[in-house]
Amino acid sequence: MLECQRDRHVSGAWLAEELGVTRNAVWKAVEALRAEGYVVEAATNRGYRLAQENDLLSPASIERFLPDGHPFDITVRKSVDSTNAEARRRALEGAPEGVVVVAEEQTAGRGRLGKTFYSPAGAGVYLSVVLRPRLQADAAQYLICAAAVACAQAIEAVTDEEALIKWVNDIFCRGRKVAGILTEGIVDMESGRFEHAVLGMGVNVRVPASGFPSEIADVAGAVCDEAVGALRSQLAAEMLARFWSLYESLPHRSFYDEYRRRCFLLGQPIVVARNGSRVRARAVDLTEDFKLVVELPDKTRRELPYGEVSTGPA
């Protein structure tokens, strides 16, 4: 209720009447919120107000930035092993499409190819969505690329930072990785279609108080030097809404041109790491189904459906 009335004070008497509790119960609830880290202002004869600088995530704080009639059922957890793992557990229990798991912290956040995703409390947006796409498994790349475009668009909308895509699933701002996408799913072997998919998006909103771990300090960055207000909630809502608009027409790949425009590897010398080897190449194009076209030193070309690429030396 305080989230919905964030711009004004709300009297304790009104809250008590609306909730069917005593004024003392309202006071205790406010104290409980303060103990969780919320800044709740209190003014005599005016009531309570949630301070504008609050950036703790909650379903209400995210939903106030979403359009009416949105399809999401949002849960926010203080800490989970991985939002993808939690969403996958819920999908296996029959959770419908649109269930969203958001976490303040991941203790075992994961990226592609078994990598970890550093996810400390209060520093980022970590969320996963349960999907039940009518999609062949070999088109999973569409989900990843749609999410990458949505994530880049959301970052730009909220922060004004230019967001570029490193094929296939990383988002960069000012030359540093600020976000990653991870898609997992279960496929019906008979039809080749997804029974369900889980889409995870993780964004570094601010640099953690203790900095990034040494192994990623040279690469990792954040979308803001200083995040103010409910920026994380707004970013989460933008990511979800923009992804859903692309997801609803996924087979049409309406986002292809924008993905290609943001893909900063095109035209660059790269190193391709596959099957334990590293090969120099040049990224020259992107196919309509999002395979990276590379030119090898002998001038032959290959289409990479997946793989790890970098701009560093072999």
| Whether residues 120 and 213 fall in one domain | yes
176 and 209 fall within a common domain: yes
pLDDT in tens, 185-241: 999 888 889 999 999 999 999 999 889 999 999 999 999 876 566 799 999 999 999
- Tens digit of pLDDT for each residue in 114-154? 678 999 998 999 999 999 998 888 888 999 999 999 999 99
Whole-angstrom Cα distance, residue 248 to residue 196?
15
Binding region: 82-84, 106, 110-112, 177
End position of a domain, from candidates 50, 74, 89: 50
Residues 21, 87 share a domain:
no
For residues 63 and 212, state if they share a domain: yes
Does this model's pTM top 0.75? My answer is yes
Q: Are residues 199 and 163 in the same domain?
A: yes
**Residues 116 and 91: beta-carbon distance below 8 Å:** no
**What's the CA angle centered on 176, arms 219 and 124, to 5 degrees?**
90
> Do 69 and 113 reside in the same domain of the chain?
yes
- Per residue in 230-280, pLDDT (tens digit) is 799 999 999 999 999 999 999 899 999 999 999 999 999 999 987 778 899
Query: Among residues 262, 279, 296, which one ends one of the domains?
Result: 262
Q: What CATH number is given to the structural domain containing 203?
A: 3.30.930.10
* CB of 95 closer than 8 Å to CB of 71: no
Do residue 83 and residue 147 come from a single domain? Answer: yes
140 to 181, 278, 281: CA distances (angstroms): 12, 25, 25
User: Which positions make up the binding site for biotin?
Assistant: 82-84, 106, 110-112, 177
Give exposure, 105-142, as e/b (b: 16+ Cβ within 10 Å).
bbeebbbbeeeebbbbebbbbbbbbbbbbebebebbbb
What mean pLDDT is reported for the chain?
92
Residues 38 and 160 in one domain: no
Task: State the CATH number of the domain containing residue 303.
Answer: 2.30.30.100
Do 246 and 304 share a domain, yes or no?
no
Amino acid at position 230, single letter: A
Range of the domain at 31: 2-50
Q: In the chain, how many domains are there?
A: 3
Residues of the chain with pLDDT > 90, as a percent, come to 75
User: For residues 129 and 84, what is the distance between their CA atoms, to the nearest angstrom?
Assistant: 8
Could you give the CA distance from residue 177 to residue 163 in angstroms, rounded to a whole number? 10
Residues 63 and 77 grouped into a single domain: yes
Question: Is residue 76 domain-shared with residue 46, that is, in the same domain?
Answer: no
| Domain match, 9 and 80 both | no
- For residues 53-73, give the mean pLDDT: 92
Under the phi-then-psi rule, with left for phi > 0, alpha for psi from -120 to 50, and beta for the rest, what region is 276?
A: left
Alpha helices per DSSP H over the chain: 12-19, 23-36, 59-63, 83-92, 140-159, 231-247, 256-262
Final residue of a structural domain among 223, 246, 262: 262
What is the band of 314 on the pLDDT scale with cuts at 50, 70, 90? very low
